[in-house]
Amino acid sequence: MGILFGGKSAEHEVSLQSAKNVIAALDKDKYESVLIGIDKTGRWYLGKNLEDLAVALDGSKAGLGRLLEIIEEKKIEVVFPILHGPYGEDGTIQGLLKLANIPFVGAGVLGSAMGMDKEVAKRLLRDADIPIAKFKVFLKSERKKINYEKIVKEFGLPLFVKPANLGSSVGVNKIKNRQDFVKAVKEAFLFDRKILVEKAVESREIECSVLGNEYPLASLPGEVIPARGFYDYEAKYLDKRTVLQIPAKLPKKIIRKVQKLALKTYKVLCCEGMARVDMFLQKDGEVLINEINTIPGFTNISMYPKLWEISGLCCAELLDKLIKLAFQRFQDEQKLRTSR
């Protein structure tokens, strides 16, 4: 089994921690791990463990070709991409693996691409009558047209500015004044050519894990209680004061509502395998979808595996099911015609 991790993303370090936990949790009697790492420059490496990635593949383009050779040489039967963010969670690596004709864990090309692009995902959810927070999108070429006063008049303060294609709350800022806004827009455009401005929602932050292909299941929901303003990168991975309430303390009616919305979001965005759906629960009981993560974290503090554990599925069993889902989809696709 190939474990693909690292990558040219601001979430590189998160991917390393996720990979460590996946490797540790895998049933060693069933699976032999082949570690394939990608550094921040895009170079590919092969190693026996995360601390000893000794055999370098030859650069990006040659590395891709070499990867396919390794898959054949090592007789890798399935690949688990644990690449968070661009160049891994956005459909790029999924397309490569699909062309290589090898099963892989998680969403396919379409689901990955739509889940990664927050603007596209929000438009599709809105068209499917799934509630979301109000937002606007700006391209880098439209930067001079961004009018702070006009946005504040429509959305009020505070509001959020974020890159359209990134995860782990990298580049996300909560805005309370013009100075914050100008700085946040500049930072967001460092990570993407397209940014979102969103209306801030006074709410509780709820997350729900989803597992499956055609017939997905939703876990019990959890709640994130950040010690500071919002659940940014530092709150997720560095601030030990952040509380993860697992499961969330919610009425049964709200739990069912959260699960139903999570499954509908998953299906609308053409997801398969796994995803974590993040939501806002308002005081009046209304639930808004924030975003979906098609390769959720597997670190020791990550919600996705923790929610399945509290729902009755330990990490080893969860990984086993994800791998079986990858094979199931692959086998179904192999039955499809490719010619008349």
170 with 191: CB under 8 angstroms? yes
> Would you call 276 a catalytic residue per the annotation?
yes
Degrees, nearest 5: CA angle 94-99-100 = 95
Task: Find all residues with CB under 8 Å of 143, minimum gap 6, and list them.
Answer: 185, 189
- Catalytic pick among 9, 11, 91, 205: 11
Give the integer Cα–Cα distance in Å for 233 and 226.
11
> Would you call 278 a catalytic residue per the annotation?
yes
Which tokens sit at 266?
């998953």
Task: Find all residues with CB under 8 Å of 182, minimum gap 6, and list them.
Answer: 148
Alpha-carbon torsion, ordered 262, 265, 267, 271, to 10 deg? -90
> Would you call 291 a catalytic residue per the annotation?
yes
Report residue 100: phi and psi, to 5°. -75, -5
Report residue 27: phi and psi, to 5°. -70, 110
Instruction: Supply the DSSP symbol for 52.
Output: B
320 with 31: CB under 8 angstroms? no
316 with 27: CB under 8 angstroms? yes
- Catalytic pick among 31, 237, 266, 304: 237
97 with 83: CB under 8 angstroms? no
- Catalytic pick among 192, 297, 304, 329: 297
Phi-psi label, residue 312: left if phi above 0, alpha if psi -120 to 50, beta otherwise: left
Which tokens sit at 331?
């086998």
- Catalytic pick among 9, 278, 290, 302: 278
Quick one: the chain helix, strand, coil %, rounded to 5?
Answer: 40, 25, 40
> Would you call 293 a catalytic residue per the annotation?
yes
- Catalytic pick among 112, 291, 302, 329: 291
- Catalytic pick among 165, 168, 173, 209: 168
- Catalytic pick among 293, 302, 304, 329: 293
> Would you call 297 a catalytic residue per the annotation?
yes
Degrees, nearest 5: CA angle 102-319-225 = 125
200 with 162: CB under 8 angstroms? no
DSSP H helices in 176-251: 178-191, 233-237
Residues carrying an active site annotation:
11, 168, 237, 276, 278, 291, 293, 297
